[in-house]
Chains A and B, each alone.
Chain A
Amino acid sequence: MFTEKDIEKLSELVKLPISEEEKSKLAGMLSQTTVYMDMLNELDTSKVEPTYQVTGLVNVYQSDDLYKTLTQEEVLQNAKNIKEGMIGTSAVLERE
């Protein structure tokens, strides 16, 4: 079950602001969803390894000579705030 407090915490984790209305709607909807998630406990997996990917490929490297890259102009073409050829962001640390 999800409380509105759980939703507030998740909102912070995923950096998504939500309205009061969305908060109660999400709590209800996510609680309904867990029915199917909890159903998995009906299956015994004590002797089973998890599968995170299905190809079985490991340590795949790209060959150096095929390396693709973008120009600085291309990298910046979609950025909203460009200063001196760099992307501007809001400050993370406060200046003392």
Chain B
Amino acid sequence: MKKLYLLNLKEALEGLKNKEFTSLELTNSCIERIKEVDGKVKAYLTLNFENALLDAKKADEIISKKGEFAFKDLPLLGIPYALKDNFSTKGIRTTASSKVLTDYIPPFESTVSQRIKEAGAVLLGKTNMDAFAHGSSTETSDFLKTANPWDTKRVPGGSSGGSAAAVAANMCIFSIGSETAGSIRGPASWCGVSGFKPSYGRVSRYGVIAMASSTDSPGPICKSIWDCSYVLSVIAGKDESDATSVTNFVPNYTETKYSDLTIGIPKSYFLIEMDEEVKKLTYDFIEKLKELGCKTKEIDLIAPKYSIGVYTIVQRSEVSSNLARLDGIRYGLTRENFGFEAKKRMFLGAHVLSSGYHDQYYTKAQKVRTLIINDFEKAFEGVDLIVSPTMPITALEFGEGEKNPLFGEMMDILHEGSAVSGLSAISMPIGFSKGLPVGGQLIAPRLHEEKLAYLGISYQENTDFHKKFPEEIK
């Protein structure tokens, strides 16, 4: 039998249900793996091994008593997972990778981690990220430089880089990240794993250290889209503690079926500067979708360069408001502990919100946001989903991001339009370029995650890119 840490979520659940191994064995296997390779990858900021082993033992007791029926009420029973460090965990240090929160111990639990806990999962630790999720490489973390498990000279992408790297290096069975524009899709793509960015409002933001409140969307990063869809079914749904969470019914995302899907190919998304190999693999991806029975159609969407401006203005404004609460009085350290990236964002946010610039920038951006939303709505009248590469290039080496003040925004150019519109999207591995993983993204209309789940699962049933992991981490 293969090593337990190599299992994906679906396989791990089967094994636990069939009593092929215990949660304690599975958890210990992940812990041994973390001890073996995290010195090189540096995905975890805070480890929770002691509690994890206790929780695994408890899970085993339930499984031995109730057998596979236990999983009906506890769908993640005994499964070890990794959580991005911007999710508040009661009694466990939560820093969002910023020095400002270096000693912060939340007195309450985020809804996402609470739901996962109530589903029986075992928390292995908290993962590194760009500080306050500001970035697309995880290099702005004040604590660690997480490496890409495929090539440790390269970045994992960000901001959920620690979560994606932990999955790619098999240091957990699944992980949770969060996305404002690209922070799930980007690192999933660069680390060769699957990521699911739900629609805004689909998953509660309660207890997530806020970045941009009008687009923040927590979601899973896993070893397959089936795994992501399964986790999404656990964490999605109305939460009384988040007024922006929506009441729409949450289906079982792993069991949806569609036929005759039409996929839109947005011409403008393929006109941006991108790696030729990434483009070629995306066309191969589209061919595969056709083989699976999808029709395709070229569509017009507003050039993604405009989304950069909209997203930059909206996000910086919301960042400057959200980080204003960090005054070092009730919790955390004082404001001079902010890193340069956070400062840069708050300065620009304060500028576009200040009198004299508010209409010129802030209101203008929110109007163009309406244009982008209407543009997607029109496109979705003729197609079910939209396809594009996830990232224009493969993972960069350390240090490249610092050269451009809009590095993150440029890397996330194919995510910003859907992010400011609150749409859902997935990224999954579609091939390799010079040994580095390439991701393809599918975008769905708001609250139509089930279409993404269906097509992502079908694609992975017929391909094996998602089954590839770095053989040796060096």
- A-to-B contact residues, CB < 8 Å: 2, 6-7, 10-11, 13-18, 22, 25-26, 29-30, 32-33, 36-43, 45, 48-55, 57, 60, 62-63, 66, 68, 70, 74-75, 77-81, 87, 89
Contacts and interface: CB of A to CB of B under 8 A. Distances in A.
Interface of B: 103-105, 107-108, 200-201, 214, 240-241, 243-244, 246, 302, 305-306, 308-310, 312-313, 320, 324, 327-332, 335-336, 338, 340, 343-344, 346-352, 354, 361, 363-371, 373, 405-406, 409, 420-422, 446
Contact of B350 (A14, A60, A75, A80): A14
Nearest to B357: A37
A74 B330 contact: no
B371 A50 contact: no
B309 A37 contact: yes
B413 to A, nearest CB: 10
B330 A78 contact: yes
B324 A14 contact: yes
A13 B354 contact: yes
B331 A78 contact: yes
Interface residues of chain A: helix, strand, loop or mixed (majority): loop
Contacts of A50: 363, 366-367, 369-370
A45 B367 contact: yes
A62 B243 contact: yes
A17 B449 CA distance: 44
B310 A55 contact: no
A35 to B, nearest CB: 9
17 contacts: A10-B347, A14-B347, A15-B324, A30-B344, A36-B406, A37-B309, A39-B309, A54-B201, A54-B420, A54-B421, A57-B243, A57-B244, A63-B240, A68-B108, A70-B107, A78-B107, A89-B329
A53 B205 CA distance: 14
Contacts of A62: 240-241, 243
A87 B329 contact: yes
B343 A26 contact: yes
A48 to B, nearest CB: 5
A78 B332 contact: yes
B306 A16 contact: no
Give 5 closest A-B pairs by Cβ, nearest first: A78-B331, A50-B366, A54-B422, A74-B107, A45-B367
